[in-house]
Amino acid sequence: MKPLSLSPAQLRGAEIAFWLALASSFFLLPDKLTLMSQIMIFGLFAVSLDMALGYAGILTVGHAAFFGAGAYAAGLLAKYGWSEPFSGLLFALAVCALLGYVLSYLVVRGADLTRLMITIGVCVLLFELANRLSGITGGTDGLQGVVIAPVLGLFDFDLYGKTAFGYAFGVVLAMFLLVRLVLRSPFGLALRGIHDSRKRMTAIGSPVEARLRMAYAMSAAVAGVAGALLAQTTQFVGIESISFNRSAEVLIILVLGGTGRLYGGLIGAIVYMLVHDWFADMNPQYWMFWLGIFLIAAVMLGRGGIMGALSRVVRTGKAR
């Protein structure tokens, strides 16, 4: 079969269609708005992981550390009086960017194995911290009493999740465009170069370590925003938002969608969350079983997830 080819203009059209379709679920699926908001939030989280893993090539299995940190940052800020949502997001972004930058000194050095360990270790450490400081975080009961003021002072968060959907959609779209801008900038090209050949980038004088640290911090910041969004739209922070399982889950979402591709995380989140919702009545053990089978099959058979399979069928206009 001859691959279909898309010109840059058609590609742009496809992108716009994707976002319009996402937005139209507001009218088409009015009783699934909460699920749709969560899909977008997890999509953003997966996109953030993609920055670190797919683009910068930093093997991390503890990204929930930042998702959780962002959620607690925004949740605590709102609980203790500052309930304006956008500044809450900015606060979470700043906290996670800082945290990510500090940790990047630990993570970027060393081999894949050490990175794996450090990222798991930090995630578990933060989980324990959240668990122990139950006076502040609520421990295993989660952080309750988070109250978020109306968005822009106009739209109150309602029971049906209408405001939550609109708010999440706007923020996720804006963050996604920002990430896309970064990844298409010379900085993003340098990351791709480092991913392809670290030695070559060092040889042409690219500050490899500094770039990787920056990418890791940015990825942490985006993950923090995703966590903060979840905290604000659900007005609750559960301790599982910082757990190792959450890290594994987002890894699965990203791999399902396709790593190193802009839309991989979003597509992965849509498919994963819909299937999860579908199987919601299923025993969690069965769900785990099928998830495991899927992972094994994905490694053995597929390359590049859903987006990888798509790109084999549809050739895009831009040169690779």
Partner 1 sequence: MGIVIFDGVAYGMLLFLIGVGLSITMGLMNFVNLAHGSFAMVGGYAASVLMNQWGIGFGLSLVAAFVAAALVGAVLEFVFYRRLYRAHPLDQVLLSIGVVFVSIAAFTYFFGPTMQPFTLPKALEGQVSLLGLEVGRYRLFLIGCGVAVLVALLLGLGKTRYGAMVRAAVDNQRVAGGTGIHVQRLFFLTFSLGCGLAGLGGALSLGMLGLEPSFPLKYLVYFLMVVCVGGAGTVTGPFIAALLVGIVDVAGKYYLPETGAFLIYVFMIVMLLVRPNGIVAKKGLA
- In whole angstroms, how close is the CB of 205 to partner 1 at the nearest point? 25
Distance CA 176, CA 179 (A): 5
CB atoms within 10 A of CB 314: 14
Residue from 292, 309, 312, 317 in contact with partner 1 (CB under 8 A) = 292
Residue from 23, 295, 310, 314 in contact with partner 1 (CB under 8 A) = 295
Give, as one character, the DSSP assignment of residue 150: P
Distance CA 97, CA 102 (A): 9
- The residue among 175 and 267 lying less far from partner 1, judged by its C-beta, is 267
Q: Does 286 bind partner 1 (CB under 8 A)?
A: yes
Distance CA 21, CA 197 (A): 38
Distance CA 167, CA 225 (A): 13
Q: Does 309 bind partner 1 (CB under 8 A)?
A: no
Q: Which stretch binds partner 1 (CB under 8 A): 28-36, 115-123, 139-147, 274-282?
A: 115-123
Residue from 23, 120, 275, 314 in contact with partner 1 (CB under 8 A) = 120
Which residues in 232-251 contact partner 1 (CB under 8 A)?
244-245, 248, 251
Q: Does 112 bind partner 1 (CB under 8 A)?
A: yes
Residue from 186, 199, 285, 318 in contact with partner 1 (CB under 8 A) = 285
Distance CA 278, CA 272 (A): 10
Distance CA 34, CA 162 (A): 8
β-strands 4-6, 314-316: how paired? parallel
Sign of CA dihedral 60, 97, 258, 210: negative
Distance CA 125, CA 169 (A): 32
- In whole angstroms, how close is the CB of 128 to partner 1 at the nearest point? 5
Residue 5 token pair = 């080819």
Q: Alpha helices of the chain — where are they, by DSSP H?
A: 8-28, 33-50, 64-79, 85-107, 112-132, 134-137, 162-184, 186-196, 198-203, 208-234, 244-257, 264-278, 284-300, 305-313
Q: Are 159 and 234 in contact (CB under 8 A)?
A: no
- The residue among 81 and 284 lying less far from partner 1, judged by its C-beta, is 284
Q: Does 128 bind partner 1 (CB under 8 A)?
A: yes
Count of positions on this chain that bind partner 1 (CB under 8 A)? 41
Q: Which stretch binds partner 1 (CB under 8 A): 19-27, 53-61, 179-187, 231-239?
A: 53-61
Q: Does 299 bind partner 1 (CB under 8 A)?
A: yes
Q: Does 125 bind partner 1 (CB under 8 A)?
A: yes
Distance CA 139, CA 132 (A): 6
Residue 68 token pair = 């959780």
Q: Which stretch binds partner 1 (CB under 8 A): 25-33, 113-121, 174-182, 204-212?
A: 113-121
- The residue among 62 and 85 lying less far from partner 1, judged by its C-beta, is 62
Residue 151 token pair = 């968005």
Q: Does 58 bind partner 1 (CB under 8 A)?
A: no
- In whole angstroms, how close is the CB of 86 to partner 1 at the nearest point? 34
Q: Which stretch binds partner 1 (CB under 8 A): 112-120, 192-200, 217-225, 262-270?
A: 112-120
- The residue among 77 and 255 lying less far from partner 1, judged by its C-beta, is 255
Residue type, 240: E
Q: Return residues touching partner 1 (CB under 8 A).
A: 53, 59, 61, 106, 109-114, 116-118, 120-122, 124-125, 128-129, 132, 244-245, 248, 251-252, 255, 259, 285-286, 288-289, 291-296, 298-300
